[in-house]
Each structure stands twice: as C-alpha cells, then as structure tokens.
C-alpha cells in the first residue's frame, strides 16, 4: 500500500524537474540532450559522487592514509572550495565568504566551549582539585566499569544536556584517563555514549531548532525523538562496557550494574521527552542515573574487582571534609548552575542575556542568513566564568589561570584549526548546493525505503557539520517533506534525522579531534576513526530498522 501511494504521488516528477534544473548549469554535463529518466539518474549519480569528494577524501585520509586530522581537514576545505567554484559555479567571493562564515561559526561558539571545557579541566589539575575528585570517585568504586558508567555515561550525558558542543566527550574522557584508564578506549566509549543524548543536548536546542525549521509542534517532535531513541539509549551502556573491556566478556559480573545504568537514564529521559518536552530529558535522566549508579555501587561495595578493571587511586589525601570536596567540585557545580539558570527554563534570566548578541550576514551569495554571536548567554562564556570563579574558590591566582589558559590554547590549536576547516567545508557544500544534491540522489535512489536511510542522511549531515543543530537545519526540512510525500508521519522522519545526527557525531572529525585532545592523544584521530566506525555503522543500521518498522507499530 505504501509503495503504491508513493508511486502515485508526483514526488519523482518533482525531483526530475529539480535535477534538470540543477544539471542545466552544471559544467561537467551536456545540456542539449533530451534527457530520459535513466540518463538523468546516471548524471545525478555522477554529480552525487563529485559532491561527496570532500567526504570521501576525509574517510581515505583519516582511515586509510592515517593523516593527521588538521591536515586532512585543511585539504578537504581546499577540495570543497575548488568544487564550489569550478563545479557548482559559485563565485570566488561566495566561496570565500561561505568558508569565513563556517570558520567564525566554528570559533564562536564551538571552539570557545571546547577551550573553556579543557581550561576547566586543566585548572582543576593545576590546583590539585582533580586529585580530590579522583579520590571521591574512587571512593564510589575501584571498578573501572562503574566509573565509566558513572562519569562517561551519567556525567557525560549531564554535560551534553547542559552544554553540548564537545563537553560530553572532553570532560568525562579527561577524568577517566586521570583514573588510569586506556585513553583510546575511553574516548571511543565516550564518542559512542554521546550519540543518543545529542537530540536533547544544550537544553534541547537541536529539537527546538528542528521545530522551527519544519514548522511543527515541538512537543510532537520531542515525543517522537524520545520513542525512536529509547532502544539505543538502553543498549549504549552495554556497548560502553564492551568497548572498555575490549570484548563481551567485560559484561561478566556487571550485568546488574549496566542494567541499572541503562534503565535509570533511559526511563526518566524518555518519559521527560514524551511528556515535558526537549529541554530536560538529558538533565533529569543523568541525575537519576548518577544517583542510581552510586547507590548500586555502594550496595555492592564488598565485591572483588577483577585486576583488569581496577581503577587507579588518587595520590595524596584520600579523606577530606565536605567543604574540601565541595571546593574541588566547585567549577563543575557552577557550570551546572550557570547553564541551568540561564537556560530557557528561566526566561527572566535567559531572555535579557540572550538579547545581548550581534547578527552579521557574512555569506555573499543567494540564500544568505545572518550569523548570530551571543556574547554572554553561550555555553563557552558561562563555562569560562564558572571555571574562573571555581579557580578563585580553589585559591588559584590570576597568573596561574592565565598560564593554564595559554597552555590550553597552545596545546589545542590543531583542534581549533580542524574544527574551523570542517565547518568552512560544510558551509561551502551547503551554500553551493553540494549537500542538497547528495540528499536528492539518496531520496531518488531509496524511494519508498527512504525511512531506512533517513538516519544515515542525518549521520552524513553530522559528519559534515559536527553539530546536531546544524544537521537539523541542513536536512530537517527535506526529511519532513519527503516523509509527507511517501505517506510517513513527517514528525517521525524529522526526529529520525536528529537521531542520525547524534550517531554521525561519533565519526565527525570535530568530535574525534576533541576526544583526542582531551586525553592528550592529538594525532591519533585516524586510529579513533577506524575503531569507532563499526559502532557508527551498527547504530545507523539499528536506527534505520527502527525508523522503517516502528511507524507500522505505533501509528
């Protein structure tokens, strides 16, 4: 029935007209031919492959040639610029302004929040607070699996819900490595963990943004997103433990723990998303999860920990007062409070601060829109303020904080360059029409089976942009329109796009660069990409099956 409905609609004709219009000006193709659908399909496939060139290059460079991330992304930017100018007939000014827009968007707020998060972590190292935090966490359990789920899953989802923009990978990974865990496996686990909370990250920004893009009720989108993500949310803690232990045997003796971690986050997060909206699922779920893991670990405190999962103890003082513990955690507590009280949940604070911004139109071509810079109510600024106040509480001098800041910037310039290059590449591809041409081919090729590849398109968008929010802007409207044309609930495929965006963040160069920098493994991006790619593929397949079959059960 669905197939007949699809072929009875003028969707294919609409795409044929779009393709003819696209190819009439494309210099690689002949335009004086009487095109039939077969020829047109072949031409669209060629254009699809050419548009994919920057992405194909990144895959080859990072996973095949094992080139450093900042070099590979710089070359991808050059490839995109050449294609935008020569293939898609963008002027040199348009290509340059698109790249500038992407770079500025990368610097503020993305790189800002990364540097802020790493500065916070490095400052706690400098003041010795991290040793006290490690000691407190070691007091919860000496089992690495407990700490991985407490910090990488519970605390990581909390950071995603409050700030996003890489903090959910950078801060938990840094803490876990400080507790003696394998840095590569830790980053891999944190990348996988960060796939499902993305839709409700930064106090629900991706889903709220999607609702404005597709002009749909945000409650319906939140409901569908919560439902479609539930299974992957539940499975993720199991996968994290398997990654840490490099095999399924790592689950031995920890099934109860993993079930507690999975259920204590998934159930409250899904219910919150279904009935309260997109702002609080990650925050409520993560707080419930951390409390449940601590209670479970304390109840099982006498259990012997296998040697391979024995965490490192903090050096020095292991017992300290409540005040000392509060002082050690003060930057992170302040980050939570600042981000919470400046969020849309508290409009009396949020609205005035959010109005302090500048909007500038940078792209010079058609379809340009202003790029907004929020100067105060943005996660990076708030994290910096919280970190500096926390540093003062921990008795760090201004000189010490300045030294830590300079060290953080100097040691992460490659990460900043990588992210600026990728966002510049994404803007060139988006403004020139390369990204929409990629999506157009996938829609025509998939037909009635489009829901199965809907998350893949979202993942592709996140690979290009590194942002769940940007992916919603990039592909959200196309997903909803296609869903309406093939008889699927538009809200469902719009939500599937958001799910795919979270999955794609596993393999996007920015996330990998952030993770590598957080554990001082810059240069290992190729290794991380090779290791995380199979997990991304697994999630894309599972998400595709959910998107394709669940509507028949639910609707």
Among residues 276, 297, 312, the one where a domain terminates is 312
Give first-to-last CA distance, the chain, whole Å.
15
Residue 376 phi/psi, 5° resolution? -125, -55
Domain endpoint, select from 312, 343, 377: 312
Residue position matching structure tokens 């003041």: 127
DSSP characters over 114-125: HHHHHHHHHHHH
Q: Tokens 């800002």 map to which residue?
A: 112
Q: What are the helix (H) ranges across 276-321?
A: 281-299
CB 214 within 8 A of CB 490: yes
Question: What are residue 359's DSSP bridge partners?
Answer: 372
Cis peptide before 6 (omega within 30 of 0): no
Angle between helices 413-432 and 69-82 (to 10 degrees): 20
CA distance 165 to 198: 9
Asked if 336 and 167 touch (Cβ cutoff 8 Å), the reply is no
What is the DSSP secondary-structure string of 198-251?
A: GGGHHHHHHHHHHHHHHT--HHHHHHHHHHHHHHHHHHHHHHHHHHHHTSGGGG
Strand partners, 360: 371
**Nearest-angstrom CA–CA distance, 226 and 199:** 9
Q: Is the pTM of this model over 0.85?
A: no
Strand partners, 374: 357
Asked if residue 324 belongs to a domain, the reply is: no
The SS3 assignment for 371 reads strand
* Residues 469 and 533 occupy one common structural domain: yes
Q: Mark whether 160 and 260 lie in a shared domain.
A: yes
Q: Which pairs with CB-CB distance under 8 Å and at least 24 residues apart come from 209-214?
A: 209/469, 209/472, 209/473, 210/472, 210/476, 210/494, 210/495, 210/497, 210/498, 213/472, 213/473, 213/476, 213/477, 214/476, 214/477, 214/480, 214/490, 214/491, 214/494
373 bridge partner residues: 358
Is residue 197 domain-resident?
yes
Tell whether 320 is covered by a domain.
no
The number of beta carbons lying within 10 Å of the beta carbon of residue 357 is 13
Closest to 546 (Cα-Cα) out of 507, 482, 496, 498? 496
Other beta carbons within 10 Å of 93: 11
**Residue ranges of the alpha helices (H) in 342-412?**
347-354, 379-393, 398-411
Whether 51 is covered by a domain: the verdict is: yes
User: 549 lies in a domain?
Assistant: yes
Point out the domain boundary residue: 266, 290, 312: 312
Kindly give the parts of the chain with pLDDT less than 70. Answer: 1-42, 63, 138, 165, 302, 313-319, 555
Give CA–CA dist 418/173, Å, rounded: 19
Shared domain for 419 and 530, answered yes or no, is: yes
Would you call 308 exposed, middle or buried from its count of C-beta atoms within 10 A (0-12, 13-18, 19+)? exposed
Task: Tell me if 110 sits within 8 A of 165, measured CB to CB.
Answer: yes
Task: Give the helix/strand (H/E) hosting 372.
Answer: strand 371-374
Residues 303 and 430 in one domain: no
Short-list 436, 146, 91, 404, CA closest to 294: 146
Spatial distance between the Cα atoms of 15 and 21, rounded to a whole number of angstroms? 10
**Backbone phi and psi for residue 379, each to the nearest 5 degrees, phi listed first:** -50, -40
| Domain identity same for 307 and 451 | no
Pair (21, 149) in one structural domain: no
Q: Which domain, by its residues, includes 496? A: 1-89+412-555
Same domain? For 150 and 266 the reply is yes
Q: Check residue 113 and give its pLDDT.
A: 76
Note whether 162 and 245 are same-domain residues: yes
Half-sphere exposure of 406 (CA within 13 A, CB side): 6
CB 523: neighbour CB atoms within 10 A? Answer: 12
Overall number of domains in the chain: 2
In a domain, 39, yes or no: yes
Residues 222 and 154 in one domain: yes
Residues 458, 543 within the same domain: yes
The structure tokens listed for 219 are 């409650």
Find how far residue 475's CA is from the centre of its chain.
15
The pLDDT tens digits for 118-164 are: 888 889 889 999 888 877 876 788 899 999 999 999 999 988 987 77
* Residues 497, 451 contacting (CB under 8 angstroms): no
Residues 78 and 183 in one domain: no
Residues 429, 504, single domain; the answer is: yes
Whether residue 167 is contained in a domain is answered as yes
Token pair of 40 as six digits: 């047109």
Residue with tokens 């988006």: 430
Residue 456 lies in a domain: yes
The tokens for 545 are 């099956």
Residue 531: per-residue pLDDT? 95
Residue carrying the six token digits 């965490």? 311
| Whole-number pLDDT of residue 39 | 54
pLDDT at 504: 94
- Distance from C-alpha of 33 to C-alpha of 367, rounded to nearest angstrom: 30
Which CB contacts under 8 angstroms, 24+ apart, belong to 248-252? 250/145, 250/309
Among residues 282, 263, 232, 314, which one has the least CA distance to residue 506? 232
């Amino acid at each position: 029935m669905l197939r007949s409905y699809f072929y009875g609609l003028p969707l294919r004709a609409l795409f044929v007209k779009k393709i003819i219009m696209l190819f009439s000006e494309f210099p690689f193709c002949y335009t004086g031919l009487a095109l039939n659908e077969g020829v047109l399909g072949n031409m669209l496939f060629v254009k699809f492959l050419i548009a994919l060139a920057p992405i194909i290059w990144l895959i080859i460079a990072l996973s095949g040639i094992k080139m450093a991330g900042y070099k590979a992304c710089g070359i991808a930017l050059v490839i995109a610029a050449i294609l935008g100018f020569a293939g898609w007939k963008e002027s040199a000014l348009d290509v340059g302004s698109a790249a500038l827009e992407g770079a500025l968007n990368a610097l503020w707020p993305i790189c800002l929040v990364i540097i802020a998060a790493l500065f916070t972590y490095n400052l706690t190292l400098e003041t010795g607070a991290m040793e006290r935090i490690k000691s407190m966490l070691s007091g919860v359990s000496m089992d690495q699996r407990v700490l991985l789920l407490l910090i990488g899953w519970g605390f990581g989802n909390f950071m995603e819900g409050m700030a996003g923009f890489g903090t959910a990978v950078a801060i938990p990974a840094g803490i876990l490595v400080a507790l003696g865990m394998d840095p590569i496996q830790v980053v891999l686990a944190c990348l996988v963990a960060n796939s499902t909370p993305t839709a409700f990250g930064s106090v629900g920004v991706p889903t709220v943004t999607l609702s404005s893009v597709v002009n749909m009720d945000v409650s319906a989108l939140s409901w569908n997103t919560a439902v479609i993500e539930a299974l992957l949310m539940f499975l993720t803690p199991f996968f994290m433990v398997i990654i840490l232990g490099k095999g399924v045997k790592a689950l031995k003796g920890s099934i109860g723990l993993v079930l507690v971690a999975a259920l204590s986050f998934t159930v409250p997060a899904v219910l919150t998303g279904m009935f309260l909206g997109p702002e609080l699922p990650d925050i409520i779920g993560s707080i419930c999860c951390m409390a449940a893991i601590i209670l479970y670990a304390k109840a099982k405190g006498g259990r012997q920990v296998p040697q391979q999962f024995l965490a490192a103890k903090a050096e020095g003082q292991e017992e300290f007062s409540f005040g000392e513990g509060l002082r050690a955690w003060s930057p992170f507590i302040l980050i939570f409070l600042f981000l919470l009280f400046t969020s849309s949940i508290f409009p009396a604070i949020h609205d005035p601060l959010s109005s302090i911004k500048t909007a500038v139109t940078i792209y010079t071509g058609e379809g340009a829109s202003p790029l907004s810079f929020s100067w105060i109510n943005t996660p990076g600024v708030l994290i910096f303020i919280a970190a500096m106040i926390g540093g003062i509480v921990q008795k760090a001098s201004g000189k010490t904080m300045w030294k830590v800041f300079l060290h953080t910037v100097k040691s992460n310039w490659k990460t900043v360059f990588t992210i600026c290059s990728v966002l510049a590449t994404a803007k060139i591809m988006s403004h020139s029409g390369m990204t929409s041409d990629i999506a157009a081919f996938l829609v025509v090729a998939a037909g009635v089976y489009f829901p199965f590849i809907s998350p893949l398109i979202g993942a592709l968008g996140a690979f290009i942009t590194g942002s769940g929010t940007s992916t919603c802007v990039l592909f959200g409207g196309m997903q909803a329109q296609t869903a309406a044309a093939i008889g699927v609930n538009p809200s469902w495929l719009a939500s599937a796009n958001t799910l795919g965006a979270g999955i794609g963040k596993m393999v996007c160069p920015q996330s990998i660069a952030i993770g590598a920098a957080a554990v001082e493994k810059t240069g290992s991006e190729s290794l991380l990409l090779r290791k995380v790619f199979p997990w991304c593929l697994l999630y894309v397949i599972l998400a595709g099956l959910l998107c394709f079959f669940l509507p028949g059960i639910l609707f």
